[in-house]
Amino acid sequence: MGSEAITAISASARAEVLRRIRLAKGGTSDANAARTGWSNVVRQYRRETAQAASATLEMFEDRLRDYDAHVERVVPAEVAGAVAKMIAGRGKRRMVIPSGLPAEWLPPGLEFVVDDGMSAVELDAFDGVMTGSTVAIAETGTVVLQNAAGQGRRAITLVPDYHLCVVNAADVVETVPEAMERLRATSGLATTFFSGPSATADIEMTRIKGVHGPRHLDVVLMT
Amino acid sequence: MSGVALDPKTAAAFPIAARTALGDTQMRKNVRHATEVIQAKRARVVAEMPDWQQLREAGKQIRQHTMEHLDYYLQEFEANCTRAGGVVHWARDAEEARRIVVELVKASGSDEVIKIKSMTTEEIQLNAALERAGVHAYETDLAELIIQLGEDQPSHIVVPALHKNRQQIREIFKRRMNLPELGETPQDLADAARMFLREKFLRVKTGVSGANFLIAETGGVCIVESEGNGRMCLTLPETLITIAGIDKVVPRFEDLEVLLQLLPRSATGERMNPYNSIWTGVREGDGPQTFHVVLMDNARTEILADKDGRNTLNCIRCGACLNVCPVYRQTGGQAYGSVYAGPIGAILTPQLQEMHHAESLPFASSLCGACYEVCPVKINIPEVLIHLRGKVVQQKTAGVSGLFDVEAVAMKAMGMIFKSERRFRAAQRLGRMSETPLVRKDGQGVGWISWLPGMLGGWTQVRDLQEMPKETFRDWWEKRGKHGK
Ligand code: SF4
């Protein structure tokens, strides 16, 4: 069997599956019917925050600490200092960064190498990665990364064992729906939500940190 | 249990497998412990959500709406995924899906693949098909790795190795990873898995995944996971092949705001699982440069055609119904003879098999209703079970033989199971929920009378029915008898 054969299977299967679906539900759907039906879905869950921004930031910090992340809240001029302190605290030195990360966030005296499409093996040789972020969700302690300037492609925040992430306080929302609303315009970009470091509970339901993704996570919250 | 695949066509019927399972005290202890921990975690994170019921209702409506327009949304997904550089394939059944995936793997030039945990690939026994074609599949989810190296079978849809404890896992790893000195803390075991798989992640060029959600509006795919093995498989290979049931589609990106709240809290009792990945087709310089999606029917359209069973398709595979089920908690997952165990397995498996196999599964439940209460998309599993029991009865009556056997044997198994369940919650809920579904069928099916006393016998044999808030099942049954129905 070759690729023509699977193309043929797929084409006839497509016609058959769609026919079966229409037969099963008694008709063909179109864009109009779908749109109307979709807008009739009742959404009475929370879609906006009911608390002050300061409470949301505190909630975010709390949740991150729950995951054993270190969190430091600083004004923009202090970001580089906080970064230096955190990297030193973890005993790291050589960090990979995406292009477009603000230069003023990078403290002197450490090695920051801009990713230029390195192989996974090359990424594996770094002590850690430092990025910005798109949105953060306080209620779930989640940070969302997209393939954009200062955040980079997905592999760089995956292979190194330590992730230092700078989150702008203005990007922190309380709930998941608020975050999805902000992400909608760029929903086509490769997107990663992370909530704490990599973890598993597969062995006797004991949460173990750090399986394959970064095992350590720090956040600089820029206000 | 062994490396023999859980296939409803060949597996022992539930009553027989359950008897064996009940004898495995270690397994039962492991299952009880694990399900208790998850239940407690789930309860805590669900309780902190003031709008949980509203989310459930929205989740249910989104899923129902999707099924009503399934043909439209699948085509929309196909168009948008294709536009973004993905290649979409369709498969009528498991056989076609396997042929397509095997061919795509071969075309990728690799004789190895790294895999993300996927119930859909378990459903179609993909690994065995790959192996026959000379392709080795590495499972990368910790639990799936335990199952694969232990030549075992999954027993839970979210935590497939929950029937194994740390000592058992350690034995498997020691032997298969050649680590005689391996310690036995969960951390030691996870570290061993990290070491074992790291090299594979960095080397293997082809990845195979399932999908949690296919987003029609954008052509994107969403996968939720914990360990980061998923991200490895989705990001590092050159070719990615994703296989998904046609039920996995959701209309819009925005709908994830509901599903991404319901799923993690229900599945693992976390506010959010550690990682969610969303990607759309192919993007130069980020992730696999060849991306295929296989959309598989495999009897899902049969389920869609049955208007009383159709909401089975709304399932988002969170596993919450397994964790609360008094039957599952006693027997573990493998007794169900299917990769889909527990309450969802009891309704999904017979329907995926078009009722030709696994006909005792709809009887593998006490109808206590706990599954319905926790289901994040409000699938009324007991109602579907009763509907399917009716179907079994009808088929059997039409074919003359066998009904009595299926029903009687299944009920005996239930009696056996509940003899050992300390808190039998079934009785309390039964009265509340039995009326509607049973009464509605009343007078229509010849078979009802023959199995109801059997069920009652099975229950009352082992314990007293407790006081119920409304009319009890027994009252209802007796009254029903007096009215001469
Ligand atoms: S039926 Fe409901 S509770 Fe059970 S796995 Fe599916 S979504 Fe979860």
- Residue B283 is given by DSSP the state B
Within-domain flag for A19: yes
Within-domain flag for A45: no
CB B211 within 8 A of CB B295: no
- Does B313 contact ligand 1 (Cβ within 6 A)? no
| pLDDT tens by residue, chain B, 485 residues | 345 677 887 777 787 787 778 778 888 888 999 899 999 999 999 999 999 999 999 999 999 999 999 999 999 999 999 999 999 999 999 999 999 999 999 999 999 999 998 999 999 999 999 999 999 999 999 889 999 999 998 889 888 888 988 899 999 999 999 998 999 888 888 889 888 999 999 999 999 999 999 999 999 999 999 899 999 999 999 999 999 999 999 999 999 999 999 999 999 999 999 999 999 999 999 999 999 999 999 999 999 999 999 999 999 999 999 999 988 988 888 888 888 999 999 899 988 876 676 778 888 788 888 999 999 999 999 999 988 888 877 776 655 555 556 666 666 667 666 665 443 444 434 434 433 333 333 333 322 323 333 343 333 333 333 333 344 444 444 454 444 33
* Helix/strand/coil for B410: helix
Instruction: Report the pLDDT value the prediction gives residue B68, as an integer from 0 to 100.
Output: 97
Largest Cα span, chain B: 75
List Cβ neighbours of A103 (8 Å cut-off, separation of 6 or more). Answer: none
Partners of A16 on chain B (C-beta within 8 Å) are 92
Within-domain flag for A71: yes
Count of the separate structural domains present in chain A: 2
| Minimum distance, in Å, between the CA of residue A77 and any CA atom of chain B | 31
Whether residue B175 lies within 8 A of chain A, CB to CB, comes out as no
Nearest C-alpha in A relative to B87: A7
With a cut of 50, which residues of chain A have pLDDT below it?
Answer: none
Rounded Cα–Cα distance for residues A75 and B361 (Å): 61
pTM above 0.80, yes or no: yes
Residues A186 and A117 in one domain: yes
A187-217: per-residue pLDDT in tens? 999 999 999 877 787 787 777 877 888 889 9
Contact B103 A2 (CB under 8 A): yes
Which residue has a Cα nearest atom 8 of ligand 1? Answer: B318
Q: Please name the helix (run of DSSP H) or strand (run of DSSP E) that holds residue B49, with its range, or none.
A: none
Contact B68 A25 (CB under 8 A): yes
| Minimum distance, in Å, between the CA of residue B471 and any CA atom of chain A | 33
Residues A83 and A137 in one domain: yes
Whether residue B29 lies within 8 A of chain A, CB to CB, comes out as no
Domain limits for position A9 = 3-39
- Residue B243 is given by DSSP the state E
Which residue has a Cα nearest atom 3 of ligand 1? Answer: B375
Contact A213 B227 (CB under 8 A): yes
List Cβ neighbours of A169 (8 Å cut-off, separation of 6 or more). Answer: A53, A57, A73, A221, A222, A223
- Does B317 contact ligand 1 (Cβ within 6 A)? yes
B396-453: per-residue pLDDT in tens? 665 555 555 666 666 666 766 666 544 344 443 443 443 333 333 333 332 232 333 3
Within-domain flag for A127: yes
Within-domain flag for A61: yes
Within-domain flag for A212: yes
Residues A102 and A157 in one domain: yes
| Minimum distance, in Å, between the CA of residue A34 and any CA atom of chain B | 6
Whether residue B62 lies within 8 A of chain A, CB to CB, comes out as yes
- CB < 8 Å & 24+ apart, contacts of A15-19: A16/B92, A17/B74, A17/B90, A17/B92, A17/B246, A17/B295, A17/B297, A17/B301, A18/B71, A18/B74, A18/B75
Whether residue B108 lies within 8 A of chain A, CB to CB, comes out as no
The phi, psi pair for A130, rounded to 5°, reads: -125, 130
| Minimum distance, in Å, between the CA of residue A207 and any CA atom of chain B | 9
Q: Compute CA distances A104 → A109, A130, A134, A217, whole Å.
A: 13, 13, 18, 21
Instruction: Report the pLDDT value the prediction gives residue B402, as an integer from 0 to 100.
Output: 53
Residues A211 and A145 in one domain: yes
Contact B226 A195 (CB under 8 A): no
> Which one, of B433, B479, B430, lies nearest residue B455 by Cα?
B430
Within-domain flag for A48: no
- Does B316 contact ligand 1 (Cβ within 6 A)? yes
Whether residue B91 lies within 8 A of chain A, CB to CB, comes out as yes
Residues A82 and A163 in one domain: yes
As for the ipTM of the complex, it is: 0.96
Whose tokens are 């009687």? That residue is: B408
| A100: region left, alpha or beta (phi > 0 left; psi from -120 to 50 alpha) | left
Query: To probe the interface with B, which of A131, A178, A204, A217 has the most B CB atoms within 10 Å?
Result: A204
Residues A14 and A58 in one domain: no
Residues A217 and A113 in one domain: yes
Which CATH number characterizes residue A179's domain?
Answer: 3.40.50.10420
Contact B103 A139 (CB under 8 A): no
Residues A84 and A8 in one domain: no
Q: Please give the domain boundaries of chain B with CATH numbers for all domains.
A: 14-302 (3.40.50.10420), 406-479 (no CATH)
Residues A29 and A73 in one domain: no
Residues A138 and A194 in one domain: yes
Residues A33 and A99 in one domain: no
Separation of B329 CA from ligand 1 center, angstroms? 16
Residues A132 and A206 in one domain: yes
Within-domain flag for A44: no
Which residue has a Cα nearest atom 6 of ligand 1? Answer: B315
| Residues 198-237 in B contacting A (C-alpha not used; CB under 8 Å) | 198, 201-202, 215, 217-218, 220, 226-229, 231-232, 234-236
